[in-house]
Copies of this chain bind each other. A is one copy, B any other.
């Protein structure tokens, strides 16, 4: 790995007691490794072959991400990694990663903006052939600051909605110079991460932060997309009475047919005990709603940004506000009702005081997609525009144009198959007759 030219040194050089940090981080990583069986299978089966691959990563540097980084390194890659958010880095995990012979970690918690970006630059200095992003900071900075390196990049992967959105904007401007997989959009991520991962962890965080239960509570879920479905389903499974608000008539009807009460937020505001926003939109709960709420309600957000609950309006309305528990801010309204906002309206399962992020099994699936997408890029690579030779379909390898690409369905299914295998689950295969039948609708008529 090339030596970084900037002032940012690897984390091990910056900690007072790197050895203790490594040990602590190692313990965290081991736990995650033990509960991420898909990545384990990819390591064990030797499916990945990454010699001559240099991977640059900008992600939340905590235990689960570390398992991905180690998986890539153990497949032969040189990995340089840094954080994608200064507050999400666990220094001990970063130190443990940095101790790996093929991993250099620049991630450190709570650094200033300049250091944050210099750490990204340090990753770029490793001259990655593949980039792995969570939010897009790495891919943008390469394009902006180090265009001379673009030719040597086979492609990259993006983990989040936000990053994919930014990439699509870049692509629309013809600015994106290499292929990027929209890992965020795969069924394996969308179905499991959103429905089960966010659903369960949002409610567990709310329960543990407040010492309250859900049985018999009116839980108002705003938005009935994948996340909203997950929250509603899990709340129902804890014997809450679920109320759904929506702006889409078909989704509203789906929620109604599921047996939930569906109404406007104005109606729900007056009867809800717990509110969870999942819409991805702004101003879902606003002043006119706050004013109707009962004393003691809980307001939480499970959407990406802290814009769904209008906290500015709430602050304006309130006659007093104070932190009543770690992670819970109470706003007292003029007539007495006290509304409790969890995790400052940020993602309640990630930003709460007890939060550990998504469950390990869920990240196992997302990160396994990352790993096979990196393999796809290394095996097939990009097409045109970047001068990589030998990547052609005549050898059975797929190539990708510069731009944003859906993850090929067979890769998504491959990860599903590995997951089933790790669970010891066998399923049926189509017989030749069945395959033929499906392809030939004459049978049916």
Chain A residues at the B interface, C-beta cutoff of 8 Å: 27-28, 30-32, 34-35, 136, 162, 165-166, 169, 187-188, 191-192, 195-197, 200-201, 203-205, 207-208, 210-216, 233-234, 236-242, 245-250, 252-254, 256-265, 267, 280-283, 295-296, 304-305, 307, 322, 324-325, 328, 338, 354, 356-357, 359-362, 412-413, 416-417, 419-420, 423, 425-431, 433-434, 437-438, 441, 443-445
Cα distance A420–B354 in the bound complex, in angstroms: 32
A-B contact pairs, 12 of them (CB 8 A): A31-B324, A196-B215, A200-B207, A208-B356, A212-B360, A250-B413, A253-B416, A263-B425, A264-B428, A267-B426, A283-B433, A305-B443
A280: which B residues are within 8 A, CB to CB?
Answer: 438
Residues in chain B near residue A265, CB distance under 8 A:
428
Contact indicator A165/B441 (Cβ below 8 Å): yes
Q: A195: which B residues are within 8 A, CB to CB?
A: 257
Given contacts A252-B425, A257-B215, A425-B262, contact A204 B196 (CB under 8 A): no
Is the CB–CB distance between A259 and B215 below 8 Å?
yes
- A271 to chain B: closest CB distance in Å? 9
Question: For A241, what are the chain B residues with a Cβ–Cβ distance below 8 Å?
Answer: 259-261
Contact (Cβ within 8 A) A238 B245: no
The answer to whether B362 and A213 touch across the interface, beta carbons within 8 angstroms, is yes
Check B187 against A250 for contact (C-beta < 8 Å).
yes
A27-B324, A215-B259 are known; give 4 further A-B pairs, CB within 8 A.
A28-B325, A169-B441, A212-B360, A305-B444
Cβ B207 vs Cβ A361 within 8 A? no
In Å, the complex CA distance between A438 and B247 comes to 13
